[in-house]
Amino acid sequence: MITTHLKIAFRTLLRYRNYTILNVMGLSIGVAACLLLYVVYNYESGFDRFHAKQNRIHRIVRQTQYPGGQIDYTPGNPLPFAPALKVDLPQLEQIVSVYGTMDAQVTVLGKNANNQSADKKFREEDDGLMTEPAFFELFDFPWLTGTKAVLKDPNVVVLSQRRAEKYFGSWENAVGQYLKINNKTVVKVGGIVANPPINTDLPVDMVVSYETKRQNPLLFGFGDFENWGSTSSNDQLFVLLPENMTVETVNKLLAKFSSKHYNNKDDKKKISLLLSPLADQHHDSRFNNFSGHQTSRTVLRTLGVIGVLIIFMACVNFVNLATVQSARRSMEVGVRKVLGSSRRELIRQFFSETILIVSFSVVLGAVIAMLCVPLLGKISQVPAELPVISNPQIWLFIIGITLLISLIAGSYPALIMSGFKPIEAIKSKVTTRSLTGISLQKALIIIQFGVSQILIVGTIVTITQMNFVQSLDLGFVKESVYTLVLDDAYASRNQAFKNELLQNPEIESVSFASDVPSSDDKWSGNFAFDNRGKDEEFQLFQKFADEDYLETYGIELVAGTGFRAGDSTKSCVVNETLLRKLGIRDANAVIGKNIRTGGSDWRPIVGVVKDFKSSSAREALQPIVIMPMKEFYWQGGIKIRTKNLSKSVSYIEKAHAKIFPEVAFQSKFFDETIEDFYKQEKQMSRLYQIFAGLSIFIACLGLFGLATFMAQQRMKEIGVRKVLGASVGSIVGLLSKDFLTLVFIAIVVGSPVAWYFMNKWLQNFQYKIGISWWMFAAGAVLAIIIAFITVSFQSIKAALMNPVRALKSE
């Protein structure tokens, strides 16, 4: 019986091939889009979910509220925090200190720890961590050789298989050989772990023993193991909760711990310690993670909604076309019923046709999706090497979506067509009006184009916002500034390097600093102003730079001067935002006033700079002080005259190799750093563009099929009108009017929804556009033009037909 149903279904689909092609096109594209979105969703939501104890692993994070209302979030804790926590909260099953990421230069020494050769060196950017043996009790990273016990000793490193092969050619030969970290510390390879999964935020390609940090706290990061006042976001604590202990219980214990060690009567700021689940470290942007790759749950929900909408539109398309097709097949249904077919048999038959179409569409859609997976990196952060075909969850999704589409898309047509009355069906008195009261088809068209309007407006808003961000006055010059990493182990050579660079007439200026003007680095702390005996009620953000910093990056002075080389007074400059927060209107009024950060000495303010964006447009301007401090110069900035960039870059690289032969060269243009701030937003914009186009295409397929049927239904009416003198234009207008009315209603319904979601998205930015009427108008005009072109193709074809052919049967 099943075989017979499938044979009949196959013949029917071939007979109505136009209907079949339209359905397969709509469904396959919808499935491909939905599958690609699921690949992204599955990848981003699966970070560090493979650890057996992941539900019990948490980070201890910190929220600091200042008297002025400012709230600061950090996942970091001071170095003496962990030992104190082990004493005060022995209930916790494990407490593990982790420092990451190391952002290290690695020099391969081989079997000789005293090897002075620097021929084989690598710059590993934002990679590697330092931790204790217990780290491997919390997290499931299998060992190929060695055990976690090797991390008890100082100056030991554990490598991943791929990193060991990179350094030594073979991971089997790596154990026992030596590396030098940052040209300072020699470490011995003590073990090899398997290559970590792609979706982890823990950089275990290189793991240095935490004992190394205890012996030399300044090897990476800052502070010491006795200082509670210095915190780096890189110094993090992971804890393992006992199975019978709740998060609420631990948070209460942490509140007592915080009161004991942090909050006191003299300090007006309030520090709150909280548990943050391991699953949140990839999604909670308040607390950075070690990988630097975060995707908010809002973005994931958006992806899920778009995927559901796309596949829903494809199903709506199927139902719409099937409803139209049912009027054509009414006589077939009537004959079958007269010959004894039951309604159950007819339902099976129609479901067989649906399953056949859906199965072929899903297979075609899966093929399209697999071919497009390498392109996902353009609209997401999915790596090209992501295993898709071997992922069982993907196959379960494909099977599930096949069954779901078959059920949703097939139920309505099967139930409607199997319910035809035989006499009416044989006499061809079944029409779309008697099937659905015509309201269903109108509703489906409205839904499809309503979704399209939402995505079109979303595309316009995201593109406009990104253009606005790109055109913002950043307060500095980002073009033609070449940046490179400096090694503080050879800071004494920095001046020689600068002198070498300035011999080239194509190089305008050179500056050394802790970081570039706009970056994700946020060094902040308490401060006092004008020799007052107490700290101000907000934090001050600090940048350390030499005397050429303002000139190199084009930062403008509004009062005073910059500090000068060899300035014995240790002067500084501040920005306009600091003055506003201090309630000072005249920039000249602060010149000569003193400022003190943390517990350092007082410094005179010699200049005020115009506000510049120290971070992305998502964040408000921060009060900033810029001061010289050579021990923190990790970044070089080189202003190049734009005549011959490539030649100048080549000169810089050669000069670097000459002055710093031991240091790996790592560089990029400053504007690339700025671009990285908005990578996710740009990807979201591309995503909107692609799926807005797909939604319009799918909607137009349904509209095209419906317009074809309606033109055929009104063939005789068109013939009569032409005989009576109607023009082609009037007939096209007649046939198009109803459909364009539906599209207009869809625009009216979809626009408020688009405004709500895009207004919510814009709240992520401190600097943002206003949503204007023209965005909705542009989306509406685009949708109407596309719909008119789709409908008019069939309308013109019907209007140009010979009226004799339409009326000959009368």
Mean pLDDT over all residues of the chain?
81
Amino acid (1-letter code) at residue 596: R
pLDDT at residue number 340: 59
Q: What is the mean pLDDT of residues 352-375?
A: 81
pLDDT at residue number 618: 75
Q: Do 460 and 336 fall within a single domain?
A: yes
User: Is residue 291 in some structural domain?
Assistant: no
* Pairing between β-strand 143-145 and β-strand 572-575 as defined by DSSP bridges: unpaired
- pLDDT of 146 strictly over 50: yes
SS3 195: coil
The CA-based dihedral angle spanning residues 753, 755, 761, 765, taken in that order and rounded to the nearest 10 degrees: -170
Cα separation of 697 and 702, whole Å?
Answer: 9
470's tokens:
């790109």
DSSP assignment of 589-602 equals: GGTT-EEEETTS--
* Per-residue model confidence as pLDDT tens digits over 99-145: 977 778 888 998 888 887 767 888 887 788 999 999 999 999 999 99
108's tokens:
């391969």
The HSE-up count of residue 191 (CA atoms within 13 Å, CB side) is 22
User: Is residue 293 in some structural domain?
Assistant: no
Other C-beta atoms closer than 10 Å to the C-beta of 81 total 24
Q: Do 268 and 390 fall within a single domain?
A: no
End-to-end CA distance of the chain: 42
- pLDDT of 323 strictly over 70: no
630's tokens:
């050579």
Domain end: 224, 250, 280, which one? 280
Distant-in-sequence, close-in-space partners of 417: CB < 8 Å, separation ≥ 6: 326, 329, 330, 333, 346, 350
Cα separation of 26 and 444, whole Å?
Answer: 14
Taking CA 624 as the corner, what is the angle to CA 623 and CA 629, rounded to the nearest 5 degrees? 160
Q: Do 136 and 8 fall within a single domain?
A: no
Domain end: 662, 694, 718, which one? 662
Domain end: 230, 249, 280, which one? 280
Q: Do 562 and 710 fall within a single domain?
A: no
- Element at 276 (helix H, strand E): strand 270-277
Q: How many folded domains does the chain comprise? A: 3
pLDDT at residue number 627: 92
Q: Do 646 and 609 fall within a single domain?
A: yes
User: Is residue 473 in some structural domain?
Assistant: no
Q: Do 142 and 208 fall within a single domain?
A: yes
Q: Do 112 and 207 fall within a single domain?
A: yes
SS3 568: coil
pLDDT at residue number 209: 93
SS3 352: helix
pLDDT at residue number 165: 94
Other C-beta atoms closer than 10 Å to the C-beta of 389 total 9
Pick the closest to residue 230 from 71, 74, 89, 69 (CA basis).
Answer: 74
Greater confidence (403 vs 512) lies with 512
CA distances from 564 to 429, 471, 568, 707 (A): 94, 32, 9, 76
pLDDT at residue number 474: 79
Dmax (CA) for the chain in angstroms is 106
Greater confidence (441 vs 244) lies with 244
CA distances from 251 to 64, 221, 243 (A): 15, 27, 16
What's the domain range around 588?
A: 488-662
pLDDT at residue number 437: 43
pLDDT at residue number 324: 62
pLDDT at residue number 432: 46
Q: Do 159 and 219 fall within a single domain?
A: yes
Using a pLDDT cut of 70, give the percent of the chain over it: 81
- pLDDT of 718 strictly over 70: no
User: Is residue 483 in some structural domain?
Assistant: no
Cis ω for the linkage preceding 246 (within 30 of 0): no
Pick the closest to residue 402 from 348, 362, 347, 367 (CA basis).
Answer: 362
Q: Do 714 and 640 fall within a single domain?
A: no
Cα separation of 415 and 393, whole Å?
Answer: 32
Could you say which DSSP state residue 460 is in?
A: H
How does residue 202 score in pLDDT terms, banded at 50, 70 and 90? very high
pLDDT at residue number 264: 57
User: Is residue 474 in some structural domain?
Assistant: no
**Cβ contact 64:271 at 8 Å:** yes
How does residue 730 score in pLDDT terms, banded at 50, 70 and 90? confident
Pick the closest to residue 486 from 625, 662, 677 (CA basis).
Answer: 662
Amino acid (1-letter code) at residue 604: P
CA distances from 245 to 82, 410, 682 (A): 19, 49, 42
- The alpha carbons of the chain give a radius of gyration, in whole angstroms, of 34
pTM summary value: 0.81
Greater confidence (477 vs 705) lies with 477
User: Is residue 95 in some structural domain?
Assistant: yes
SS3 659: helix
pLDDT at residue number 178: 93
Q: Do 242 and 358 fall within a single domain?
A: no
**Cβ contact 84:119 at 8 Å:** no
User: Is residue 309 in some structural domain?
Assistant: yes
**Cβ contact 595:562 at 8 Å:** no
347-364 CB burial, b ≥16 within 10 A, e <16:
bbbbbbbbbbbbebbbeb
pLDDT at residue number 739: 76
**Cβ contact 611:620 at 8 Å:** no
Amino acid (1-letter code) at residue 260: K
Greater confidence (475 vs 90) lies with 90
Phi and psi at residue 544, to the nearest 5° = -110, 125
* Pairing between β-strand 594-597 and β-strand 603-609 as defined by DSSP bridges: antiparallel
209's tokens:
């023993």
How does residue 222 score in pLDDT terms, banded at 50, 70 and 90? low
Q: Do 409 and 505 fall within a single domain?
A: no
Cα separation of 297 and 312, whole Å?
Answer: 22
User: Is residue 266 in some structural domain?
Assistant: yes
Q: Do 392 and 436 fall within a single domain?
A: yes
CA distances from 114 to 111, 177, 188, 264 (A): 9, 11, 12, 50
| Residue 502 burial by Cβ neighbours in a 10 Å radius (0-12, 13-18, 19+) | middle
